[in-house]
Amino acid sequence: MIDEWYPVGLFSRLDRSGSKTALMGEPINVGLDAAGNASVTGGNGRALPARVRYGHVWSSLGEPKKELFAIPEADQPGRRFIDIGVVRVRCSPLRAVENFLDIAHFPFVHTDILGAEPHTEVQNYKVEIREDDDEVWATQVKFYQPQAAKSASGGITTDYMYRVPAPTCSVLYKTCPPRPGEWDVITLFVQPLAEDLCDVWPWMALFDDETPMTDLIHFQQMIFLQDRSILENQIPRLLPLDPGMEIPTRADLTSVAYRRWLKRHNYTYGAQLVAQ
């Protein structure tokens, strides 16, 4: 997992003096160079690769073989981009992603917002690992939601698609109330600080001209903060990649595919195998 791109900061909040953070156990510094470009340096002062995309600075301790994944919707005119802001969580970066892919928890954790009893049933949906892009995709996901988004005025059945384009990133596409036929895009970019500690950088690209920016930020922060106390109380901390310790059901097809995909690629930073 060392040759992957990871988010390390918000571009809009960088300055010349830089700020200290970490990536997979190594201290790094993220700032701006004299020309105003993002600059990332490693523990011994060595230059690390840097990219600026989706409002965030991305870097790697290794040598990524591909450019950062694409989100075509981010280039659509009329989209608003929202930097949600970082939240630190004492959990495996992989657990953070897996929680983002899950919908069965909506009625219990995001009660009366993303779900409510008795509407707890998870209908069958479609999951695949798309070999050409080498990404996990879940489509035809539906769930009844009392308040699906800041722009929703009542309960609706929301359509979802989930995508995992990188081991610690996920992109969610959901029903866009102001523009039926388009998808709102909500992402979770996770920075692994250590195997059991991560900084989570949510981001959005929406069609919503009405809602004030701060309201949109607060709505997403609220949703994520409701998950945080779950994430910090899962045992074991590291994500089990082998069956036995944890029992999935049909509602968990996305997470099952994600774990299989991680194992296939030997993406084990933040994971544990049964043998350990």
Partner 1 sequence: MKLYDYVLSPSCYKVRLMAALAGVKLETRPVDFHPGAEHRGPELMALNPAGSIPILEDGDLILTESSAMLVYLAAKAAPEWLGSGKPDEAARVQQWLSFSGRLTVSLGGARLHEMLRRPGDIETLRAEGVATLRELEAGLVEQAERGMRFLAADRPTVSDIACFPYVALAPDGGVSLDPYPAIRLWSRAIRALDAFIEMPGIHRLHELKPEPGIEPEEA
Partner 2 sequence: MPVALSADLPAGTVIPARVPAGSIALWRSASGRLAASADRCPHRGMRLSHGFVRGEALSCIYHGWSYAQAGNCLRIPAHPKLTPPETIRVATHAVEEADGVIWVAVGEPASKPPQMGGFVPLRSLTARAGIAALEAATGATAGPEGLDWRTPNAPAIRLLLVPQEGGETLIHVLLDGAASPSERIAASRAAESARRKAEDLQERDIAQ
Chain residues that interact with partner 2, rule: CB under 8 A: 98, 102, 104-105, 107-109, 117-118, 120-122, 229-230, 233-236, 240, 245-251
Contact range with partner 1 by CB under 8 A, out of 169-177, 183-191, 216-224, 260-268: 216-224
Contact range with partner 1 by CB under 8 A, out of 45-53, 105-113, 131-139, 260-268: 105-113
Q: Which does 226 bind (CB under 5 to 8 A by kind): partner 1, partner 2, none?
A: partner 1
Query: Is the Cα dihedral 65, 169, 260, 254 positive or negative?
Result: negative
The angle subtended at Cα 1 by Cα 83 and Cα 67, nearest 5°, is: 60
Does residue 215 interact with partner 1 by CB under 8 A?
A: yes
Question: How would you classify residue 122: left for phi > 0, otherwise alpha for psi between -120 and 50, otherwise beta?
Answer: beta
Contact (Cβ atoms closer than 8 angstroms) between residue 119 and residue 91: no
Contact (Cβ atoms closer than 8 angstroms) between residue 253 and residue 261: no
Containing H/E element for 264?
helix 253-264
Does residue 252 interact with partner 1 by CB under 8 A?
A: no
Q: Which does 74 bind (CB under 5 to 8 A by kind): partner 1, partner 2, none?
A: none
Indicate the residue type of 202. Answer: P
Interface positions with partner 1 (CB under 8 A):
10, 13, 83-90, 108-109, 111-112, 117-118, 120, 199, 212-215, 217-218, 221-226, 228-229, 232
